[in-house]
Amino acid sequence: MKRFLVRRAFTAVITLLAVTVLVFVLARMTGDPRVLLLGDQTQTSQEQWDAWGRDFGIDKPIAIQYVIYLGKLVRGDLGDSILQRRPVAELIWHRLPNSAQLAGVAFAFSIVIGIPLGIVAAVTRGSAWDYSSRSFAMFGHAAPSFWVGIVLIFVFAVGVNVNLGLFEFKTDWFPTSRKEAGLLSYVLPGLTLGWASAGGQLRLMRSSMLEVLDAEYIKLARAKGASRTTVILKHAVRNAFIAPLTYAGLTLAGLVTGTIVVETVFAWPGLGLLSIWAVNNSDYPILQGIILLVTFAFVLTAFITDVLYAFLDPRIRFT
């Protein structure tokens, strides 16, 4: 047990270190910030060039820079933005809640779309119902999310005139963008992002339903005379439901990628927009900070769960 913990902690630390090196190298590949700010060296006095080098901490050998960087990192200092001259941690902290809320709403949408359709697909396996519900859920994943977002905006925010004889209305139900209109403003971006992962939810729900339906206890329940509906809803769904929920953990990185596009389309002031801003301005400390945050969260969660699992489930084989 102890050996496992030490070993697991060791690999996690190594992984994190590898990520910091990777991110550090990537940031250096974006070039010398002085070239962007001051032009090339020939056009600037040596004193000014050096002063800026000290300012950005890039006057030392790269290995020492890395050590300094790592030291700051341990203290939670992600460095300062080049353009904004403010701590990156602060900038990220301001944006994080917006992204987290959007991700939460998106996850809810993916459950709402994916689970019922998954049940339908499993129960009607092989039929037209199966295919159409699968196709519908997968459509959100299959179409580019910026495109889905923009089309949704034009259909449900700008609105389309619908004339059904007696009923005539315009479908301008939601705000086009930004998060000012309260809960309503969460609908379209949440739907865009959630629909994209609904396909995955459906797939998991469908296959775990199929397996549960195939299990002996279901057959037993059916043999005892319970109706088909009862069996499906009471026994099967309850047992199959948990699988898709856990899907959330596995899509953290994917969700971050998704939010970049969706936040841009919907003018959502979250981390995605910040990272795009950083990329476009070569403000690499911000970019570095966001990538680190995402990967750290990913690696750390995996580590913690492994450890907790090791405590809770003694059957685990320590290899």
Residues between 111 and 170 with contacts to other proteins, criterion CB under 8 A: 125-126, 131, 134-135, 138-139, 141-147, 150-151, 153-154, 157-159
Name which of residues 280 to 319 contact other proteins (CB under 8 A): 280-282, 287, 290-291, 294-295, 297-299, 301-302, 304-306, 308-310, 312-313, 315-319
Shortest distance, position 91 Cβ to other proteins, whole Å: 8
Instruction: Give the interface segment with other proteins, choosing from 58-66, 111-119, 224-232, 267-275 (CB under 8 A).
Output: 267-275
Tokens of 309: 């699992």
Closest CB to other proteins among residues 58, 96:
96
Closest CB to other proteins among residues 166, 183:
183
| CA distances in angstroms from 277 to 61, 78, 83, 215, 285, listed in the order given | 29, 17, 11, 52, 12
Shortest distance, position 223 Cβ to other proteins, whole Å: 16
Residue 70, interface with other proteins (CB under 8 A)?
Answer: no
Distance CA 133, CA 107 (A): 19
Closest CB to other proteins among residues 69, 149:
149
Contact 205, 243 (CB under 8 A): yes
Q: What is the per-residue binding string for other proteins in 210-249, x denoting contact by CB under 8 A? A: xxx-xxxx---------------------xx-xxxxxxxx
Closest CB to other proteins among residues 131, 169:
131
Helix locations, the chain, DSSP H: 2-29, 33-38, 46-56, 62-74, 88-123, 128-142, 145-153, 184-213, 216-223, 228-230, 238-240, 242-250, 252-266, 271-280, 284-312
Residue 191, interface with other proteins (CB under 8 A)?
Answer: no
Residue 176, interface with other proteins (CB under 8 A)?
Answer: yes
Token pair 């992600």 is found at 78
Q: What is the per-residue binding string for other proteins in 15-44, x denoting contact by CB under 8 A? A: x--xx--x---x--xxx---xxxxxx--xx
Tell me how far apart the terminal alpha carbons of the chain are, to the nearest angstrom: 10
